[in-house]
Structure 1
Amino acid sequence: MSAPDVPADCPVYDIDLYGDEVLQDPYLHYRVLRERGAVVWLPRNRLYVLSRFDDVRTALRNTAVFSSAHGVAANDAVNEMSRGTTLASDAPLHDRLRAIVAAPMLPRALADIKPQIEAEANRLVDDLLVRGQFDAVTDLAQHLPLTIVSKLVGLEDYGRGSMLRWAAATFDVLGTMNQRGCAGMAHVLEMRAYLDEGTIRDRLRPGSWGRRIFEAADRGEVEPQRCPVLMRDYLGPSLDTTIFATASLMLLFGRHQDQWDLVRGDPGLIPNAINEVLRLESPVRGFTRFVTADVAVGGVTIPAASRVLLLYASANRDERKWQDADRFDVRRRANDHLGFGNGPHMCAGLHLARLEMAALLQALVRKVRRFEIGEPVFALNNVLRGLASLPMRVLS
């Protein structure tokens, strides 16, 4: 990845932000970035990074300068191959594509499936109470996305069975082309080949979200060749982000029983709890942007044609924005967090994610008195932050 000359007054932090050590425990490094300056140069990744709340939010809203049209990955190969997708586009193309993908995930549309999601959440919690011990990731957090949402997308068994693998790879390749990124590319190419098959439309369930994309093409709302591309938007964002946030909630409530007691005593705090976990343990660490013109941030001028990482996960712990920023507090008003991004590219599936998480918490509040957790194992992904495993025991 080429880069213009780095301004002499720009602070430098010599770490690999996509290395194993940082991924295992990133928050000290995020704090260092925030303390070094509003803009920091990462020589190992050849990226500028914005890590403070106000700067990241401002950049997300300024799409004319911080453009997505040149891709949002930290490597040139994926940025080139992803151009023209919902994630890697600006208005007006982005708005047209997003309207099609987001339609079944808007609140009015989700109202039809809300009873189904709530019923499945109750059934799941009842089953977990009988079992007593389980894994909070594979047995709890993955359940709703894999049993309900994946079917709504309309894929046949092979497609649904591959979604988690494809989703993880999709985010890995949006980082650097390290070992994880290179390994993920094979899975991404497999996903592309599966969706690009000429028979994919016929194999989608009638009435499904995937079939609706092709019907939008029939109405002239989108070019037919873009339909497989839009299908990919359902195979990543609808899964891992919600799964990781849900598992992180279980970890935090297991570590902070007093916070669970507050939510049990006042279920009206459930939306606060969801916002707080998205702030404190943001599932998406951040995406990059291409700078279209020289832009000054905090006294440093970032040259045009630079690649800038907008670090949501650091912004969400910025001491300038949040009091006692590293503390989990379900009474905190954190509705303006950046866990779903911000601006035109704000996560299209945010309403679905909130619905799934709220349904689970409502069922747990009614039936679970206490969580006891074992040792968490964190997944290593270039762009995502979340758990691979968390042994758990629930007490009613």
Structure 2
Amino acid sequence: MPELPVSDVDLYTAQARIDPYPIYDELRALGPVVYLSRYDLYALPRYEHVRAALMDWRTFSSARGVFVDAATNAELEGITLCSDPPEHTMMRGVLGRPLRQDRMRDITPRIENVADRVVTRLVERGRFDAATELAEHLPMAVVSDLVGLPDRGRAKMLRWAAAIWNTQGPADERFAEAKPLVDEFIGFAVNDAVPGNIDPDGWAAQLYQAADRGELPRAKCPVMMLDYVTPSLDTTILAITNTIALFARHPGQWELLQSDRSLIPHAINESLRLETPVPQFSRVLTEDHEIGGTALPAGSRVALLYGSANRDDRHYPNPARFDITRRPSDHLAFGRGEHVCVGMHLARLEMTALLERLADQVERFDIVSETPLINNGLRGLQHLEITVQAA
């Protein structure tokens, strides 16, 4: 067996959260598996091995948590994200009903109407924050209603979701600041977001209705609301903001999209590939396993570096280039296999609705200023002040 490369690189410094790509380049060059000595993790930085791990849940288990901190992983065991079939299949079957691709037809007119209004209003202004005024608008205006949480919860959804993502990393300062907010959200889910307080036609209520039919334990309902709130907000908001930033930096690509709207799905995939909002999750090996010629023992925690895999030049030629004709539908930003993102169809619908309307109304974007998000589980821009030239 080849000698296992070891790195003491820290993926959780502020600079690494802002710009992890030099680190990813270094890790991919070291080998198919790199031991991260700071966190006792075996990192998979290359596309081939990350995809293979995602497709093999029996060997790469989520049941012992998918984060970094051991205590957090133990606490989260049994939620949808941190479970394997058959338990995972049972929860995902209920959770995913309103998010199926065929159900998106029912909410498409609603999303398109909201997209029409917000794009027209912001383009008329000419200058706005694409993160907080554009990208946040659809998830907050539509998804909050669809989930059907009480008003008190809606006001804090963004803060709660960001806090949950911060607990994905090690027990650092960001983690410590986030923990009380996570506890507050769980308390809200258990005590406030319950039948009688939630919209009886909303997604949250459907969880309890499924429990009443015996399809899942009622105790699972509060924590399963995490699966609606967390992925529906920050990840989509970051994906939209990243896409606008990429088009601002590459006006030629925006001209291509304006002239050929069939490129919109490929532009979304290319943006997600190049600027992956969730760069990493982990798994635990259920048995001794060989990866790229390296043997790892059962019980090893393995970090799947999506953000690195999506820029692997072994799989994508010239991977740092933003090219909406690339058609990278095999990117790993949504994951793959049993744990593929349950909300990906909704995210694509929201992004498509906005890009279609922006393509009608905006000739070009120019960046005035930007502020990176520093979060243990997410990557992207917290603010993106832009000006637009109307079409």
1:17 touches 1:45 (CA, 8 Å); kept in 2?
A: no
Aligned partner of 2:85 in structure 1 is 91
Larger mean Cα displacement after TM superposition, 326-335 or 190-199: 190-199
Choose which of 59, 65, 70 in structure 1 pairs with 2:64.
70
Bigger shift: 50-59 or 171-180? 171-180
Paired letter, 1:159: G
3-state SS, counterpart of residue 138 of structure 1: helix
Q: Is residue 52–residue 314 contact of structure 1 (8 Å, CA) maintained in 2?
A: yes
- Aligned mate of 2:204, from 210, 228, 232: 210
How many residue pairs get aligned? The number is 390
How far, CA to CA, are the matches of 2:144 and 2:29 in structure 1? 42
| 1:201 Cα deviation after fit | 1.8
Q: Does 1:233 align with 2:245?
A: no
| Counterpart Cα distance in 1 of 2:151 and 2:192 | 18
Match of 1:49 among 43, 49, 52: 43
Residue 375 of structure 1 deviates from its aligned partner by: 2.6
8 Å contact from structure 1 (residues 154, 209) kept in 2: yes
Which of 3, 7, 19 lines up with 2:13 in the alignment?
19
Deviation string, structure 1 residues 126-182 (Cα, Å, up to 9, x no partner):
100111110010011000000011111001111111111111111110111111112
Q: Report the Cα distance in structure 2 between the residues aligned to 1:15 and 1:89, rounded to whole angstroms.
A: 29
Q: 1:353 to 1:199 in 2, by over 3 A?
A: closer
Where 1:376 maps in the other structure, the secondary structure is strand
Match of 2:255 in 1: 261
More off after superposition, 156-165 vs 259-268: 156-165
Q: Can you list the C-alpha shifts for 1:217-259, whole angstroms capped at 9, x where unaligned? A: 1111011111111111111001111000000001000000000
User: Is 1:327 aligned with 2:311?
Assistant: no
Cα displacement (A) at 1:8: 8.1
Question: Which residue is 2:213 aligned to?
Answer: 219
Aligned to 1:3: none
The change in CA–CA distance for 1:198 and 1:367 in structure 2 (over 3 A counts) is closer
Alignment partner of 1:64: what SS? coil
The alpha-carbon deviation at position 109 of structure 1 amounts to 1.2
3-state SS, counterpart of residue 200 of structure 1 = coil
Partner of 1:4: none
The residue number in structure 2 matching 1:376 is 370
- Is 1:168 aligned with 2:162? yes
Question: Residue in 2 aligned with 1:139?
Answer: 133
- TM normalised by structure 2 equals 0.98
Gaps of 5+ in 1: 1-6
CA distance in 1, matches of 2:292, 2:228: 37
Residue 270 (str. 1) matches residue 264 (str. 2): yes
Instruction: Quote the Cα distance in structure 1 between the aligned partners of 2:355 and 2:227.
Output: 26
Q: Does 1:289 align with 2:283?
A: yes
Q: C-alpha separation between the residues in 1 aligned to 2:45 and 2:130?
A: 30
Using the aligned pairs only, state the percent identity: 47
What is the root-mean-square deviation in Å for CA atoms of aligned residues?
A: 1.1
Please say if residues 2 and 293 of structure 2, whose CA atoms lie closer than 8 Å, have aligned partners that are also in contact. Answer: no
- Structure 2: which amino acid aligns with 1:9? E
7-16 or 166-175, larger mean C-alpha shift: 7-16
